[in-house]
Structure 1
Amino acid sequence: MEQTTTHDDDTDADSRTDHLLDVSALDAGYGDLQVLSGVDLHVDEGEYVAVVGPNGAGKSTVMKSVFGLADRMGGSITFDGTDITDLPPEDVISVGMSYVPQTENVFPSLTVGENLRIGAYILDEVPEARRQAVFDRFPVLEERVDQDAGTLSGGQQQMLAMGCALMLDPDLLLLDEPSAGLAPDLVADMFDRIDQVNDAGTAVLMVEQNAKEALRRCDRGYVLAQGENRYEGRGDELLGDDEVRRQFLGG
């Protein structure tokens, strides 16, 4: 039986209309293939939200739908009070949202500095303070500013991809599987850096294969299965839910 966990705090949150991001009854997919059915989720200002679930659950499709990269077949998406349901990605990025895809998220033949400039392509002039803020958060990027991105390690490329997304100082950062492909000893460091981004005030919506770590770190989480909402709640509550652990977290 499908179930969505609810809590008093979540009920109060859902009654508000001032969510930064509000996804309602979303049907989406690719061409004639429908992947998502009636998905609901929201992110509040400064909140850290994780979407987890088994392979094929539709997690990445949620992310791509929000950013205008999937075919939306029904439902609505609102960001900061503006309906963005039918906006293409180039317009979505202008409203205050940045997206880091799972793969092919940097230009390997361009330098670190050139990648960062491209990250801020919608600006006529890139404020030096913005670039320095990225370097302060990821010092290795400043050390390698003239190095081709393709010569960076996997972890460094992921930092560069996040740095590019932060060049526009977004209100919401979308992260699709940020730990994918990283060596185990780098995963905790990547999560620490995401924590720091969120602690600085940027809301985060993250799709993540490492469900236990994602739920341990986030404020709230959503569990998807077969393109539908199954569970929702605070991260620590989902981790402690016996049914969630049995069905989706390996016991």
Structure 2
Amino acid sequence: MEDDAEPVTGANRETRTWDDSLLAVRDLDAGYGDLQILSDVDLDVRDGEYVTVVGPNGAGKSTVMKSVFGLTNRMAGTLTFAGSDITTTPPEEIIHLGLGYVPQNDNVFTSLSVQENLEMGAYILDEVPQDALETVYDRFPILRERKDQQAGTMSGGQRQMLAMGRALMLEPDLLLLDEPSAGLAPDLVDDMFDRIDRINDDGTAVLMVEQNAKKALRRCDRGYVLVDGQNRYEDAGDALLADQQVRQDFLGG
């Protein structure tokens, strides 16, 4: 955890240079068509790190995730992943580099079975890696129990586990999670975060956008607070939780 990280604000922040960054986003302007959502955004994730992006609704959090995965109009700035410049790389090529993405909505093939969904996660390979499939089933035992069930008949929490499992079939170095607790019953939220913790503990770096900011910041190594499409604060997760200004403005006190 980065205890010496200093909070940064949009007006006076200094660009960080971390030679060991797995993902480095620099001065990113991005949006949809001609509509710009992000302005001058910086973000880093190091190998094995757990990073969370929080902020008010409409701050551009999901746009950051989509931009990293090549799903927006990236207007300016640079993105590098595992030493490769991915600023103009499309999603179908990014996935080959070791980056997995789980969107918030429409993240499973509802007409396919659980196992067929997982096999689709390895579609770029010549054959389904059985060791990766077994690892996913070990992480999410309910998926093994329901491997023949049609995904569209599963609960929201089970679908979310399936979507994560499918993204893990290629054993990515970095997993992007967009609002993984959205729509889950309160008693399932902690369980979902526990599963994400274990994925990170096993060596997969995680970059997560999350509406449940307090729970997310308690678990992550570092956090970013995004406001109006710009960096507002960056610090260790527990430091952001302890910052009175951050708590008052963004975490409900």
1:18 to 1:199, Cα distance in 2 relative to 1, 3 A: same
- The answer (yes or no) to whether the contact 1:18–1:80 under 8 Å persists in 2 is no
- The answer (yes or no) to whether the contact 2:122–2:129 under 8 Å persists in 1 is no
| Matched position secondary structure for 1:107 | coil
Looking at structure 2, the residues matched to 16 and 244 of structure 1 have their Cα atoms a distance apart, in angstroms, of 25
Counterpart AA for 1:247: D
Q: Aligned ranges for residues 36-75 of structure 1 at < 5 Å?
A: 36-75=38-77
- Matched with 2:241 is 239
Q: Aligned-pair distance for 1:118?
A: 0.5
- Aligned CA RMSD, in angstroms, stands at 1.5
- Matched with 1:3 is none
- Residue 99 of structure 1 pairs with residue 101 of structure 2: yes
- Matched with 2:12 is none
How many corresponding residue pairs?
Answer: 245
- Matched with 2:174 is 172
- Matched with 2:4 is 8
Listed one character per residue, the Cα deviations across residues 55-86 of structure 1 (whole Å, up to 9, x for unaligned) are 00000000000000011000000001110000
- The answer (yes or no) to whether the contact 1:18–1:81 under 8 Å persists in 2 is no
| Matched position secondary structure for 1:20 | strand
Looking at structure 1, the residues matched to 198 and 65 of structure 2 have their Cα atoms a distance apart, in angstroms, of 21
| Matched position secondary structure for 1:147 | coil
- Matched with 1:190 is 192
| Matched position secondary structure for 2:135 | helix
Looking at structure 2, the residues matched to 71 and 178 of structure 1 have their Cα atoms a distance apart, in angstroms, of 24
Counterpart AA for 1:54: P
Q: Aligned-pair distance for 1:16?
A: 2.7
Q: Aligned-pair distance for 1:17?
A: 1.5
Looking at structure 2, the residues matched to 39 and 16 of structure 1 have their Cα atoms a distance apart, in angstroms, of 16
Listed one character per residue, the Cα deviations across residues 165-214 of structure 1 (whole Å, up to 9, x for unaligned) are 00000000000000001111111100000000000000000000000011
TM-score by length of 1: 0.95
Counterpart AA for 1:209: Q
Counterpart AA for 2:38: L
Counterpart AA for 1:83: D
- Matched with 2:212 is 210
Give unpaired runs (5+ residues) of structure 1: 1-5
Give unpaired runs (5+ residues) of structure 2: 8-14
